[in-house]
């Protein structure tokens, strides 16, 4: 079987991503019905972290255990990726001990290099360019709520970060409309937009770029935001807060989408900045369902990559 990695949604065909969503749905039901079958019995996943983590660490660790396997946590103090030891050497060493590697890194090039030298599947748990596991959890959440993906409109307001990039590709893959409300200087990279537009043309989706947050969320089924200050951007905090304040997901902005719309945030949330308490804890919020669905979506990814490897 050809070795496959999970680094970005743009690298996976839509039918295989659909399979992961349906598998996640099945594994979630199976877990609630008494527990998952030990599909990954005796399999070990290495968890490599350059950044602090709550959801990624716990969901991958718990997911492996629920599937009959186990996980080993390796924080920045254990391995300095590319510092204490080269990424290529780390990838080859871990390949000799484990059956898969999940890496949460600052630089996307690091996870790409790890995949290049690993002889086991590598999963991108987050990089500066993409957050594909979160996007899969989000697609699962939207599918559970609406019973479909095709034809829905998702609006994203705020910073054009790794989350926005992954969601633009996810929406385009599944025939959704994706409306991006961002100020000048915070827009997605051109190559991401070009790829999303290309995929949207194939799926009858639609990518719309606007600067006005109200125009972005009008008639949206899903309104999504994320932190204004990603890890590594702390020195820009004051400027980012000022520039992005009009893009705050509050009750007034959510009302432009309508009562049926769901509010999403991948967490951690900086309440009072990109999202208000009233929205985060309100009746339209699904942010904690998203967080739970990280577990189920990632288990499906693990099974897809590791069950037969």
Is 309 assigned a catalytic role? Answer: no
Is 104 assigned a catalytic role? Answer: yes
Annotated active-site residue in 57, 110, 248, 266: 266
DSSP string, 21-65: HHHHHHHHHHHHTT----TTTT-EEEEEESS--SHHHHHHHHHHH
Is 294 assigned a catalytic role? Answer: yes
255 CB neighbour count, 10 Å cutoff: 13
18 CB neighbour count, 10 Å cutoff: 15
Annotated active-site residue in 5, 50, 66, 134: 134
Contact assessment for residue 44 and residue 99, using Cβ atoms and an 8 Å cutoff: yes
Residue with tokens 């590594």: 232
Is 77 assigned a catalytic role? Answer: no
Is 211 assigned a catalytic role? Answer: no
Annotated active-site residue in 5, 99, 110, 131: 131
Annotated active-site residue in 55, 240, 294, 296: 294
Annotated active-site residue in 226, 265, 296, 298: 226
Structure tokens at 291: 């967080």
Structure tokens at 101: 């590697």
Q: What distance lies between CA 221 and its chain's CA centroid?
A: 19
44 CB neighbour count, 10 Å cutoff: 17
List Cβ neighbours of 265 (8 Å cut-off, separation of 6 or more): 224, 225, 226, 249, 274, 275, 280, 287, 290
Is 266 assigned a catalytic role? Answer: yes
Tell me which residues are annotated as active site: 104, 131, 134, 226, 266, 294
């Amino acid at each position: 079987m050809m070795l496959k990695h999970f680094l970005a949604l743009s690298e996976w065909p839509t039918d295989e991503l659909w399979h992961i969503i349906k598998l996640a749905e099945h594994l979630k039901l199976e877990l609630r019905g008494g527990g998952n079958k030990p599909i990954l019995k005796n399999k070990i996943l290495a968890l490599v972290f350059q950044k602090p983590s709550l959801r990624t660490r716990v969901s991958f660790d718990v997911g492996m255990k629920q599937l009959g396997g186990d996980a080993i946590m390796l924080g920045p103090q254990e391995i300095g990726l590319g510092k204490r030891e080269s990424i290529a050497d780390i990838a080859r060493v871990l390949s000799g001990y484990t059956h898969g590697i999940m890496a949460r890194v600052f630089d996307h090039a690091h996870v790409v290099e790890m995949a290049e030298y690993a002889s086991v599947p590598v999963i991108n748990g987050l990089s500066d360019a993409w957050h594909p596991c979160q996007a899969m959890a989000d697609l699962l959440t939207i599918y559970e709520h609406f019973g479909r993906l095709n034809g829905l409109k998702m609006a994203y307001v705020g910073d054009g970060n790794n989350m926005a990039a992954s969601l633009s590709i996810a929406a385009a893959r599944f025939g959704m409309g994706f409306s991006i409300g961002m100020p000048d200087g915070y827009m997605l990279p051109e190559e991401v937009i070009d790829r999303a537009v290309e995929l949207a043309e194939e799926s009858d989706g639609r990518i719309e770029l606007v600067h006005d947050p109200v125009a972005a969320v009008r008639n949206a089924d899903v309104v999504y935001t994320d932190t204004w200050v990603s890890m590594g951007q702390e020195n820009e905090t004051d400027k980012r807060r000022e520039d992005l304040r009009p893009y705050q997901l509050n009750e007034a902005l959510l009302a432009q989408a309508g009562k049926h719309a769901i509010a999403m945030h991948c967490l951690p949330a900086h309440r009072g900045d990109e999202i208000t308490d009233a929205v985060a804890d309100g009746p339209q919020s699904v942010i904690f369902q998203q967080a739970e669905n990280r577990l189920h979506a990632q288990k499906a990814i693990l099974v897809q990559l590791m069950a037969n490897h």
